[in-house]
Amino acid sequence: MSTTVVKSDGAPRRGSISLSGKRRGSGTEKMDTHIASWHTRTHLHEDNPHAREEDLKKLLERYTKTFTITPQRLKMITDNFVGVLEKGLEEPEQTVPMLPAYVFGWPTGEEVGSYLALDLGGTNLRVCHVVLKGKGKFEVTQSKFRLTEEQKQQEGQLLFDFCAECLNTFIIDHFGDANGDVILEEEIALGFTFSYPMQQDAIDHGKLIRWTKGFGNPNTEGRDCAAMFRQSLEKFKVPIKMTSLINDTTGTLIASNYVRQDTRIACIFGTGCNAAYMEHIGNIPKIKSLGLPDDEDMAINCEYGAFDSFTHEHMAEVRTKYDEYIDLHSNKPHEQTYEKMIAGLYLGEIFRLVMCEMVDEGSLFLGQNTYKIEKPYSFDTAFLSLIESDPTEELLTVTGLFTHFFGLDTTIVERKFFRELAKLIGTRAARLSSCGIAALVIKMGYLEEGCGVGADGSLYSKYPGFADRLHQALVDIFGEKGKKIVTYQAEDGSGVGSAIIAAMTKARKEAGKYAHV
């Protein structure tokens, strides 16, 4: 089967920012469009004064203080987190909204059939054909389409049009005959994974509460995204019925449990961050009026990336000026506070802001042209992974990274400093990430027995040491018992999970169970 892949057009990012006005070492040269060549060396460049070892040592002490979170602080944040989660279940429209997902109970593992899944995440749009084979087995064929910066800001309906078009292309490629005509023997249900906070009152409706992860498409917040998507399906005459609308964490929860039954919680640590878990309906006071049975379970999409938004009271002691800067210069100031401190979209930016501060203070890249590094979001979080995992003694990968992408010379002392700084920022993210999981564990009483936590997202799967650091933080919070809370690489929630949920929903509706939701 062929797949279609559309690549990013590398759309320009927003304008340049500075922590404190004009920076030393910055020039006025025009941006090069060609890729720079570079060389490596072990000796200092005679012309440009490089950072002195003693100065970097002092700076490292300063940043260590800034980014280190003690076990005691982790415990305090976790305790507050528990209260916030409970409040979200009690009352509607809370900062951490604890959204009922209308997915009832765990899968049996015997769900079978052929499904389509559409996954609108933070970075890509994916279309998947999933064949569930029962006994936790499945097969997936997928196509990925990179979203451009422009698509994340254009009129909302156009974004859904793009989703429908990609889906149509996929269906024609995979189910069409030689003329491109699509004849489906039986209707294939589509599960739509829409990974943003949605207020749902049924499995196939979802009102977007707010955009996250840098999206800003107008005329979408407050509207039913399922209805908008259906309108696009009609426009392109896509012969498919969307039966469920889910969040990526809910999909991950179900997909992980499908293959590993001790899974109780699922998390995403990627461009954004969030978690889902299974709650007893009786413990969700805010939906009491629906008259659903108290003793059954429903998945909750916590949307806890919003923890500490607006008031910034629970993490005030650990929130830095870099976090605040990122927040205030984002398209959604004061929102997603927790997410902005730990998610993949932001870690590279935190690192970059620290470097810019050092340039401002005259301790880094003196005499070099720093305009490339001054560009907001130019330092990808993947660079932190690279810096932390450079296997060479001279940190040659780091050398190459700075010369190739930023035209900057570095010394071994500076490169070692960068590695420590990446470690600090990456470790803080992993440790803070543990608080949300720990809060759910406390809330649900999972500590004694222990539980599996399915985790996914680029940070979790690609950032070196992320899982180990997170596990260490769980031990810091719970002591030895923390070892019973084990995170593991989850199955593809947005694809496979979405298909399983489509299958569960179909079975539920056929059985006439809560057919109205």
Residues found near ligand BGC in the complex (CB under 6 A): 121-122, 195-197, 212-213, 247-249, 268, 270, 272-274, 303, 305, 339
195 is catalytic: yes
Q: Considering beta carbons, is residue 25 or 197 the nearer one to ligand BGC?
A: 197
> What tokens were used for 379?
């330092």
User: What is the smallest separation between the CB atom of 456 and ligand BGC, expressed in angstroms?
Assistant: 9
User: What is the smallest separation between the CB atom of 100 and ligand BGC, expressed in angstroms?
Assistant: 14
C-alpha 452: how far from its chain's center? Answer: 20
User: What is the smallest separation between the CB atom of 301 and ligand BGC, expressed in angstroms?
Assistant: 7
Residue 397 has a CB neighbour count (10 Å cut-off) of 16
248 is catalytic: yes
- Per annotation, catalytic residue among 26, 143, 195, 494: 195
At residue 298's C-alpha, the angle toward residues 296 and 301, to 5°, is 160
| CA 473/CA 428 separation, integer angstroms | 10
Amino acid at 230: R
User: What is the smallest separation between the CB atom of 32 and ligand BGC, expressed in angstroms?
Assistant: 34
- Per annotation, catalytic residue among 126, 210, 428, 431: 210
> What tokens were used for 165?
């078009």
Report the SS3 class of residue 213.
coil
User: What is the smallest separation between the CB atom of 515 and ligand BGC, expressed in angstroms?
Assistant: 26
Report the SS3 class of residue 458.
helix
| CA 341/CA 327 separation, integer angstroms | 9
Phi-psi region of 94 (alpha: psi -120 to 50; beta: other; left: phi over 0): beta
Whether the Cβ atoms of residue 247 and residue 198 lie closer than 8 Å to each other: yes
Q: Considering beta carbons, is residue 84 or 401 the nearer one to ligand BGC?
A: 84
Q: Considering beta carbons, is residue 410 or 498 the nearer one to ligand BGC?
A: 498
Residue 4 has a CB neighbour count (10 Å cut-off) of 13
Q: Considering beta carbons, is residue 125 or 356 the nearer one to ligand BGC?
A: 125
- Per annotation, catalytic residue among 248, 308, 323, 492: 248
Whether the Cβ atoms of residue 326 and residue 340 lie closer than 8 Å to each other: yes
Residue nearest ligand BGC, CB atom distance:
272
User: What is the smallest separation between the CB atom of 156 and ligand BGC, expressed in angstroms?
Assistant: 16
> What tokens were used for 157?
């309906």
Q: Considering beta carbons, is residue 143 or 337 the nearer one to ligand BGC?
A: 337
DSSP label of 496: I
Of 316, 342, 320, the closest CA to residue 431 belongs to: 342
- Return the HEC string of 267-321: EEECCCEEEEEEEEHHHCHHHHHHCCCCCCEEEEECCHHHCCCCCCCCCCCCCCH
User: What is the smallest separation between the CB atom of 215 and ligand BGC, expressed in angstroms?
Assistant: 9
> Cβ contacts of residue 46 below 8 Å, gap of 6+?
none
297 is catalytic: no
For the chain, give the longest Cα–Cα distance.
Answer: 78
> Cβ contacts of residue 17 below 8 Å, gap of 6+?
325, 329, 374, 376
Q: Considering beta carbons, is residue 151 or 212 the nearer one to ligand BGC?
A: 212
User: What is the smallest separation between the CB atom of 165 and ligand BGC, expressed in angstroms?
Assistant: 23
Q: Which residues pair with 347 in a beta bridge?
A: none
Q: Considering beta carbons, is residue 50 or 126 the nearer one to ligand BGC?
A: 126
Whether the Cβ atoms of residue 282 and residue 90 lie closer than 8 Å to each other: no
Active-site residues, by number, are 195, 210, 248
